[in-house]
């Protein structure tokens, strides 16, 4: 079994493995940190009241904001947008508005990416009334150090251990996503109970690792992730994990459940694994299962799997982890673990080393080779 600990240690995967498997405990720590700092955070957000909120990050950190925005635009007190740091830096004139009060929420594992710092600096120079909330995993990162003493900024440091040593972002991703929901979700959800539910279900997934491995341990060379709403936004992160950890040996793509018919379905062949994250919303869930039923009838893909928080009918394979009362953004925290496990297993299956997957060293844990050009405003 690829997930046997001895095999993991022998194949340069121990960091990635450990960081995936620590997540349920990390989420509990995230909640404790949030609870301890809740009054400080609310005091800071009161200063930024009425601001336009831009979630930002690059790569996986961008996807945190994409998921959060999709949910919070219906459950938060601000007007939310999600714009990658790479877009803010390359085209600041499209995103920053001088006379529009703005709160930039930066997600960053290390806080050392050049774009993270440049996005903040551009916002400060281009917007008259500008605030920063940094949600980061490195207390000594350049982003955190820049903002600690700024009275119009707040820095939330994730629990120790979230600054992943492995190449791919795993516990950093889910902890930052959970933090954003705890901070900005104004629905009636009991957040403490929500985290307890997530942690229990997370441990159930980890206990089910052998079943997950058996389900995905076959010679597919393409993988497609599908979903709707916030879970559609998660599919981008899920396909990136496979791409990163296999160093492109397995081709990956993502699409919405309904959008898949509009051309991307052409990607399916007889060496394809399709994984769908099923919505907890009964209405939306119908569209998720419709496409899975259709794909089973097509009979082309080698395997089709539905990941669900409740029992589901259909001819496709199923991974069901029962969770009640949580919306799809919270399920993204949970289902991300399954995508991470699939990526880890697949990386080992194709003979790669998950902690250091890029043998050419042209792709790095912290991005290199970026030149930040001076912007003449």
User: For 331-340, what is each residue's pLDDT tens digit?
Assistant: 999 999 999 9
Structure tokens at 269: 């062949």
Q: Is the pLDDT of residue 377 over 90?
A: no
Phi-psi map region of 308: left, alpha, beta (phi>0 left; psi -120 to 50 alpha): beta
Q: Is the pLDDT of residue 4 over 60?
A: yes
Using CA atoms, how far apart are residues 278 and 281, in angstroms rounded to an integer? 9
Write the CB contacts of 67 (distance below 8 Å, at least 6 apart in sequence). 177, 230, 233, 234, 237, 329, 332
**Residue bearing the bigger pLDDT, 164 or 13:** 13
Q: Is the pLDDT of residue 365 over 80?
A: no
Q: Is the pLDDT of residue 366 over 80?
A: no
Average pLDDT of span 33-44: 98
Using CA atoms, how far apart are residues 97 and 93, in angstroms rounded to an integer? 8
Q: Is the pLDDT of residue 139 over 80?
A: yes
Q: Is the pLDDT of residue 24 over 60?
A: yes
Average pLDDT of span 47-76: 97
Average pLDDT of span 64-83: 97
User: For 195-223, what is each residue's pLDDT tens digit?
Assistant: 999 999 999 999 999 999 999 999 999 99
Q: How confident is the model at residue 43 (pLDDT cuts 50, 70, 90)?
A: very high
Confidence at residue 357, expressed as pLDDT on a 0 to 100 scale = 82
pTM for the full predicted model: 0.96
Rg (CA), the chain: 20
Alpha helix (H) residue ranges in 127-223:
142-147, 171-184, 191-207, 209-216
Confidence at residue 14, expressed as pLDDT on a 0 to 100 scale = 97
Confidence at residue 370, expressed as pLDDT on a 0 to 100 scale = 87
Q: How confident is the model at residue 376 (pLDDT cuts 50, 70, 90)?
A: confident
Confidence at residue 364, expressed as pLDDT on a 0 to 100 scale = 60
Percent over 90 (pLDDT), the chain: 94
Count CB-CB contacts under 10 A for residue 74: 11
Using CA atoms, how far apart are residues 55 and 59, in angstroms rounded to an integer? 13
Q: With respect to CATH, is domain 5-187 assigned 3.40.50.10490?
A: yes
User: For 275-331, what is each residue's pLDDT tens digit?
Assistant: 999 999 999 999 999 999 999 999 999 999 999 999 999 999 999 999 999 999 999
Using CA atoms, how far apart are residues 260 and 294, in angstroms rounded to an integer? 11
User: For 248-283, what is each residue's pLDDT tens digit?
Assistant: 999 999 999 999 999 999 999 999 999 999 999 999
Positive or negative torsion for Cα 73, 76, 79, 81: negative
Average pLDDT of span 165-177: 95
Structure tokens at 369: 């080779």
Confidence at residue 217, expressed as pLDDT on a 0 to 100 scale = 97
Q: How confident is the model at residue 362 (pLDDT cuts 50, 70, 90)?
A: low
Confidence at residue 367, expressed as pLDDT on a 0 to 100 scale = 67
Contact between residue 332 and residue 177 where contact means Cβ atoms under 8 Å apart: yes
Q: Identical fold at 5-187 and 195-349?
A: yes
Q: What are phi and psi of 310, to 5 degrees?
A: -150, 165
Confidence at residue 243, expressed as pLDDT on a 0 to 100 scale = 96
Beta strands (DSSP E) in the chain are 52-56, 79-82, 102-108, 130-136, 153-157, 222-227, 251-256, 272-277, 303-308, 317-320
CATH class of 195-349: alpha beta
Confidence at residue 292, expressed as pLDDT on a 0 to 100 scale = 98
Structural domain boundaries of the chain?
A: 5-187, 195-349
How high does pLDDT run on average in the chain?
A: 96
User: For 81-127, what is each residue's pLDDT tens digit?
Assistant: 999 999 999 999 999 999 999 999 999 999 999 999 999 999 999 99
Percent over 70 (pLDDT), the chain: 97
């Amino acid at each position: 079994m690829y997930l046997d600990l001895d095999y993991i240690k022998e194949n340069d995967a121990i960091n990635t493995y450990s960081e995936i498997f620590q997540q349920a405990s990390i989420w509990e720590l995230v909640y404790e940190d949030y609870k301890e700092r809740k009054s400080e955070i609310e005091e800071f957000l009161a200063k930024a009241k009425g601001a336009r909120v831009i979630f930002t990050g690059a790569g996986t950190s961008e996807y945190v904001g994409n998921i959060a925005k999709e949910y919070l635009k219906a459950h938060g007190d601000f007007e939310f947008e999600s714009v990658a740091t790479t877009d803010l830096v390359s085209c600041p004139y499209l995103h920053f508005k001088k006379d529009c009060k703005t709160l930039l929420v930066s997600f960053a594992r290390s806080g050392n990416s050049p774009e993270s710092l440049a996005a903040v600096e551009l916002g400060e120079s281009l917007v008259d009334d500008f605030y920063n909330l940094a949600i980061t995993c490195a207390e000594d990162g350049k982003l955190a150090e820049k903002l600690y003493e700024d009275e119009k900024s707040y820095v939330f440091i994730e629990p120790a251990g979230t600054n992943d040593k492995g190449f791919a972002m795993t516990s950093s991703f889910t902890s930052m996503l959970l933090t954003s929901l705890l901070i900005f979700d104004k629905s009636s959800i009991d957040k403490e109970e929500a985290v307890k539910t997530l942690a229990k279900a997370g441990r159930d997934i980890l206990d089910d690792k052998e079943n997950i491995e058996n389900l995905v341990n076959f010679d597919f060379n393409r993988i497609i992730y599908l979903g709707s709403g916030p879970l559609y936004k998660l599919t981008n992160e899920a396909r990136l994990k496979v791409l990163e950890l296999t160093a492109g040996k397995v081709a990956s793509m993502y699409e919405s459940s309904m959008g898949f018919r509009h051309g991307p379905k052409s990607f399916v062949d007889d060496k394809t694994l399709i994984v769908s994250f099923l919505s907890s919303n009964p209405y939306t869930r119908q569209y998720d299962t419709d496409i899975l039923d259709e794909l089973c009838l097509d009979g082309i893909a080698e395997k089709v799997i539905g990941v669900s928080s409740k029992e589901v009918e259909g001819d496709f394979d199923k991974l069901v982890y029962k969770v009640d009362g949580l919306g799809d953004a919270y399920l993204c925290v949970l289902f991300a673990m399954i995508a991470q496990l699939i990526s880890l297993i697949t990386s080992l299956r194709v003979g790669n080393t998950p902690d250091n997957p890029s043998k050419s060293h042209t792709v790095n844990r912290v991005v290199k080779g970026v030149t930040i050009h001076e912007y003449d405003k």
